[in-house]
Structure 1
Amino acid sequence: MSESDRQAPLVDKAALRRHFGRAAAAYESTAVLQDRVGQNLLERLDFLRCTPEWILDLGAGTGLQSRRLNRRFPKARVVAVDIAHPMLLEARRRKGWRQRQSFCQGDAEALPLRSASIDLVYANLCLQWSALDQTLAEIARVLRPGGLLLFTTLGPDTLTELRQSFAAVDAQPHVHPFLDMHDVGDSLQQRGFVDPILDVDHFSLEYGELAHLLRELRGIGAGNALSGRARGLWTPRRWRALSAAYERWRTHGRLPAHYEVIYAHAWAPEPRDVRGETPARAPLRFHPRGKAAG
């Protein structure tokens, strides 16, 4: 995939803010997968040498992972950034914060932070909502030399059942297109990150009815925010066609929803030495399954 493809403005940011804003109050009780993946991502810090003073939790939502980062690094200041202001308002109301905590509304493609001000960027399942190259360029800008980027994002097999079922009804975009692991790795290298390591895990959630899945997606703010999405309400006839198309996936009385989760970490480059040379980079490494130690 070309750089221009990764930069394509696929998401209506105003719609994205509305969706996540409406989901704020009930987000933590609904976002079960996001919580599990976020905890898995935090566990990777056990294998990485990192003692940050300033941490950015990008796409912080209601601050669940920010609070965990806050407890893990009690001497660090955690900056929770999210595109939806109601999410941050909900985060402020939550218990469990230490004193060294900040909240800031902002877009991942234009971070409201000083250059070279952050030691650790943690981003759990948020980068898929923005143009990857632009977001990584912003992360590279705000990271201090040698700083760590630790993130998860969704791969192209995510919600494949829902994507194919919608395709059986019409040709409109309904499910966000997700980049594969190799495109993510290429973008990390092109943005100057050092020693990137990526691997993939797969999750399957089950539902009694399609309506339950769609209600949960809306409940975490993951509604259709594509710029080219169709407007208007669905007719009963189209809804029945969609439900019938999804039924072919039913197994043992349940409807599955598959998620492909990409885990990645990489380092911001150190300053050039007196000869104008940067330290040698290790080759890009992919781990098809399981956790990678840095």
Structure 2
Amino acid sequence: MHESSDSPFTLDRHRLRRAFERAAASYDQAAVLQREIGGRLLERLDLIKLKPESIVDVGCGTGAITAALLKKYRKARVIGLELAPAMVAAARRRAPWLRTLHGVVGEAEALPLAAASCDLIFSNLALQWMLDLDRVFAEFQRVLKPGGVLLFSTLGPDTLLELRRAWAVADSYHHVNAFFDMHDIGDALMRTRLAEPVMDTERLTLTYRDVDGLISDLRALGAGNVTAGRPRGLTSRGRMRVMRETYERYRRPDGLLPVACEVVYGHAWGPLTSPSRSRTASPAVFPLSQLRHRGWKED
């Protein structure tokens, strides 16, 4: 369930960590999609009868959703886990009055948590940065208590589709990260014996005045190109011009450039405690919806 080490789509983990380190100061300004999807994921918790004592937010970024989790479950111990120390520091600064909000530097593939220690694992738009989903979900299964819940969102393969196609005309390098398909994610959940996995997708559209604004925001988020197949030197002005001209073909009648985002949602239960929860559900696709922003900045 992961790319081989010689795949052009393999993620450079060290480069990714450095990108997140640099992005800690600019992340909040550009994280409109992350906040929107995080809010939608939080709303899904209203449908689950759960009084968690221990929560881990995997890929917490600068802690906005982590703090929201604590406000929702005030008696819970909430842990925010992030790859980059600067992101964890930003999360701690965000809410110093939240004494039960803990920031931990670590990776989802090797959670620094005891077995059967969490009632809720929450992960918003972070799994797309994981190298091995089977290993990640095995760790989630390990730390979930019996009857615990996993709830996550990630990005599907149609995300940044226009940018991917524009770069494909300009050169043969990989400029956009690859994303797992919903069905592959669902299969990984079942292979790691997480119970009753349910998947659905939603397609959103962001808008920008120009492609440079999109690229700037991706860098501000630490979401630039960290694949093995990326160009190793500076991209020439000629290739940049071809990419921009190709992207212009997508410009809408309102004068804005669209940015496709395929959001994948999923939830599953932890280790089984009785035969009544032994079934697994096939992934299901729900009706599509659209969300349009004037760029990635709040109105």
* TM-score, L = length of structure 1: 0.92
Matches within 5 A, 1:31-70: 31-70=31-70
Matches within 5 A, 1:258-277: 258-271=260-273
Q: Secondary structure at the match of 2:170?
A: coil
Structure 2 portions without partners, runs of 5+ = 290-299
- Runs of at least 4 residues of structure 1 off by over 4 A? 4-9
Q: How far apart are residue 240 of structure 1 and its match? A: 0.7
The letter of the residue matching 2:128 is Q
Q: How far apart are residue 283 of structure 1 and its match? A: 2.8
Structure 1 residues 229, 278: CA separation in 2 closer, same or farther (over 3 Å shift)?
Answer: farther
Q: How many equivalent residue pairs?
A: 285
Percentage of matched positions with identical amino acids: 44
Q: How far apart are residue 97 of structure 1 and its match? A: 4.5
Matches within 5 A, 1:120-269: 120-130=120-130, 131-252=132-253, 253-269=255-271
2:278 matched residue in structure 1: 280
The letter of the residue matching 2:235 is W
Residues 144 and 271 in structure 2, CA contact (< 8 A), matched pair in contact too: no
Residues 6 and 132 in structure 1, CA contact (< 8 A), matched pair in contact too: no
What per-residue deviation string (whole Å, max 9, x for no partner) do you get for residues 126-151 of structure 1? 00101211111111111112110000
The letter of the residue matching 1:232 is G
2-side partners of 1:82 and 1:25: how far apart?
15
Structure 1 residues 187, 62: CA separation in 2 closer, same or farther (over 3 Å shift)?
Answer: same
Q: Secondary structure at the match of 2:178?
A: coil
The letter of the residue matching 1:245 is T
What per-residue deviation string (whole Å, max 9, x for no partner) do you get for residues 138-193 of structure 1? 11111112110000010111000001111111111111111111111111111101
Residues 92 and 102 in structure 2, CA contact (< 8 A), matched pair in contact too: no
Structure 1 residues 140, 37: CA separation in 2 closer, same or farther (over 3 Å shift)?
Answer: same
1-side partners of 2:76 and 2:57: how far apart?
12
Q: How far apart are residue 222 of structure 1 and its match? A: 0.3
Matches within 5 A, 1:38-117: 38-95=38-95, 97-117=97-117
Q: Secondary structure at the match of 2:187?
A: helix
Structure 1 residues 110, 217: CA separation in 2 closer, same or farther (over 3 Å shift)?
Answer: same
1-side partners of 2:113 and 2:45: how far apart?
23
Structure 1 portions without partners, runs of 5+ = none
What per-residue deviation string (whole Å, max 9, x for no partner) do you get for residues 61-89 of structure 1? 10000000010001100010000110011
* TM-score, L = length of structure 2: 0.90
Residues 198 and 262 in structure 1, CA contact (< 8 A), matched pair in contact too: yes
Residues 199 and 284 in structure 2, CA contact (< 8 A), matched pair in contact too: yes
149-158 vs 137-146, greater mean Cα deviation: 137-146
Q: How far apart are residue 244 of structure 1 and its match? A: 0.9
Q: How far apart are residue 226 of structure 1 and its match? A: 1.0
